[in-house]
Amino acid sequence: MLKKMSDSRRIAIVIAIFVVLLGIGTFGDLAISNAVMSQNSYIATFLQNYACFPVGVVIMMSGEIIIHFAVRSSQPMIAKVLIAVSGVGLSFYGIWYYLKFAIQYTLSSIQNVEHGRPIGQANNDGGVNPTLPTIINIMICFVVFAVATLIIQKWLRHKTAEEFDRLMRVAILGIAVAFVYLMCVEEIKILWGRVRPYELNAIQDNFTPWYKMNGPTGHKSFPSGHSCESMFAIFFPLYASSKNTKLRKKLLVFGVTWGAITAISRVLLGCHFFSDATMGAFIIVFLVFVGTRCAQLKLVD
């Protein structure tokens, strides 16, 4: 059925789903959060701590592909070195970006249990969070980087010139999508200044709908960063061979499922309203859609 469905119809279906979900959030945000919020959910806390790995993987993969480009390139040695160094920096940053938050959230969960607080309680808006010494964080990231580089570079060595050229476009697109996300979403959060469900006061009169821009208030509920970063998993099919349609479909299903489950978990944990999670997920869907069209790439052929 998917093969017979035109691109226009697929796009229309995705837009319709987005409109319906955002409509549900528009009229039901507060009621939904009041009904389902629980900061004691272990599953939702697990996803809060670890679900954002896709954005780190996309950034890391872009760096690794650039490193391999330097190895294959016939450019002057100084150019190859500079390209390789930029690739190393990008790959390491992708790992650092994910692990620093995963470590913070993990330590926060441990402290919550030790002090009798709800396990999912966390400061999501830039307050003081527990973390390991910087040198320990760097050492952990370096070990992960070394292992990942060995595995990925071995995988890339078996790619034909044609396939590697496609992967270079994927790498550049990954950088572009991640850059737009990192630059824009935080600014939107600040401009909207929306309180999170767990920040509502006793009478909940500080609740605002998603379409109201409150300006900087110190609150950053809209849109959901976790929903954005987990939905980056829909980018994964681009790393599979264009000839392996079956694997690409499986990766796409995984990406959509992972992003959706994480988005739901943010609502359950009281970190976001339904519309926050919906908008976060669809921001990445939109960026990947536009990016793949501009780069002449397809998630599934």
Average pLDDT of the segment spanning 215-241: 96
- 231 membership: H or E segment, kind and range: helix 225-231
Percentage of residues of the chain with pLDDT beyond 90? 89
pLDDT tens digits for range 262-276? 999 999 999 999 999
pLDDT the model gives residue 130: 80
Residue 187 has pLDDT above 70, yes or no: yes
% helix / strand / coil in the chain, to the nearest 5? 70, 0, 30
Task: Please name which of 299, 232, 217, 300 lies closest in space to residue 263, comparing C-alpha atoms.
Answer: 232
Domain ranges of the chain: 39-294
pTM for the predicted model, two decimal places: 0.93
Using DSSP's 3-state secondary structure scheme, residue 102 falls into: helix
Residue 162's CB is within 10 A of a number of other CB atoms, namely 9
Task: Please name which of 186, 252, 261, 253 lies closest in space to residue 230, comparing C-alpha atoms.
Answer: 261
Distance CA 284, CA 298 (A): 15
Residue pair 183/177 in contact (Cβ under 8 Å)? The answer is no
Residue 215's CB is within 10 A of a number of other CB atoms, namely 8
pLDDT tens digits for range 113-151? 999 999 998 776 655 678 889 999 999 999 999 999 999
